[in-house]
Amino acid sequence: MATSTLQLAERWAWLKSWTPAGAQQKWWPELGATPSRLVFQNGLVEMHRYVTTNRKARKSKVFLIPSLINRHYVLDLAPGKSLVDYLLKQGHSVDIIRWRAPEAADQQTRMEDVLENSLRPALVASTEHCGGPVSVFGQCLGGTFATMLAVRWPELCRNLILVTAPVDFASRGSEDNLLMRWTQSPQLDLDLILRTYGNMPWPLLQSAFHLLTPTASIAKLRTLKTKGRDLNFLRHFLALETWSGDNVPYPGECFRFLIQNLYRENQFVTGQIELAGQRIALADLKTPVLSVASSEDHIVAMSSTLQKHHLNAPQTLTQIQVQGGHVNALLGSRSQSQIWPQFSRWISPTTSGTHIPAQKVQT
């Protein structure tokens, strides 16, 4: 299955290379095109700062953390569909984490190393640049890391924005959560997988994600058939497909942490994760949070995202529920008009960042 996904990815790349340059310019938008420069690098982490001419931009800063398996440019997808570009235009200064593809030498890199020795120094560099704590934005597993950072080093985070971020990995009996069933199965031999591959190959992970929604490809083709003549739709579709097929492998020991410590033992909720010599628990989160979750998300179920019952200080949490799948919260048809302005308000220095009424948004 991994091979077939790899073959598909190769065919996709071949199709792109075969397409005449003119058609490529017309259909394939430039991905991650907003100019940025590298300002920090350590281990698997690279921090890039977006270039802005906006004078107000240094007043409020947002630190973006994408998921460890995904490329960063989902947050800067294409012209007109770029959250980064939107935030820059709203006058915010933006730093983003880019995950370097792990090599054989990186398979022993532990999650604690990533958080303590790579992400924390990057966050410190970001706070030094703007002269105070920053808003931390985490997408999917990037949101899990952002929450851990905020619990352990609250002085660095002014507030948090979590988009479809899993924090509670306990299996709920009533839910048809395939990922939880698979990861909790004793047949998933982590030692053997990591001994074989070193780092977890992304085609294997991608295959598992494809299996979560077995008929999604048929639905995609049907939508493409009905809306394919609309050039704007086609550009967005191709940009998203290119992004979803362009991933990085998961560092070996980090993968073990994800499956064993989070999916199997739910250690963030039970307070057993140790970071920089101190145990951290989700309940101790005191930083104001804006959490966006999708109702039909097969990768991160609603119950896995941050809920009021997880926190000792539930008043700090504001929730937005979006209709649709995993990426809809970020790139759905109405996200740009309804969700992104909420992000901007949350980052803005004039907003206390403590309360926006909970709401449901149809995208």
Partner 1 sequence: MQQRRPTRQSQTSPQVWEQRLEISLRKALAHPWTVRALGFALTATCRLQNQIVALQALPSEKGTPLQNQKDRRRT
Helix/strand/coil for 163: strand
**Which is closer to partner 1, CB of 178 or CB of 283?**
178
Nearest distance in Å: CB 260, partner 1: 15
Q: Can you name the residues that pair with 299 across neighbouring β-strands?
A: none
**Which is closer to partner 1, CB of 1 or CB of 358?**
1
Helix axes 216-227, 231-244, angle to 10 degrees: 150
Within 10 angstroms of residue 254's Cβ, the number of other Cβ atoms is 25
- What CA–CA distance (Å, rounded) separates 136 from 143? 9
DSSP conformation letters of 84-147? HHHHHHTT-EEEEEEEPPP-GGGGG--HHHIIIIIIHHHHHHHHHHHTS-EEEEEETHHHHHHH
**Which is closer to partner 1, CB of 125 or CB of 212?**
212
**Which is closer to partner 1, CB of 33 or CB of 193?**
193
Residues contacting residue 209 through CB under 8 Å, at least 6 positions apart: 299
DSSP label at residue 258 = I
Nearest distance in Å: CB 219, partner 1: 7
Nearest distance in Å: CB 211, partner 1: 6
Residue with tokens 């009905």: 226
Gyration radius of the chain over CA positions? 20
**Which is closer to partner 1, CB of 104 or CB of 218?**
218
- What CA–CA distance (Å, rounded) separates 171 from 162? 21
Tokens for 72, please give them: 């960063």
Nearest distance in Å: CB 193, partner 1: 6
Tokens for 191, please give them: 């030692």
Judged by the rule CB under 8 A, the positions of this chain that interact with partner 1 are: 2, 176, 178, 181-182, 185-189, 192-193, 195-197, 204, 211-215, 218-219, 222
Nearest distance in Å: CB 209, partner 1: 12
- What CA–CA distance (Å, rounded) separates 342 from 161? 10
Nearest distance in Å: CB 253, partner 1: 17
**Which is closer to partner 1, CB of 12 or CB of 197?**
197
**Which is closer to partner 1, CB of 89 or CB of 195?**
195
Nearest distance in Å: CB 162, partner 1: 26
**Which is closer to partner 1, CB of 182 or CB of 237?**
182
Nearest distance in Å: CB 291, partner 1: 26
Q: Can you name the residues that pair with 163 across neighbouring β-strands?
A: 139, 292
Query: Is the separation of the CB atoms in 170 and 137 below 8 Å?
Result: no
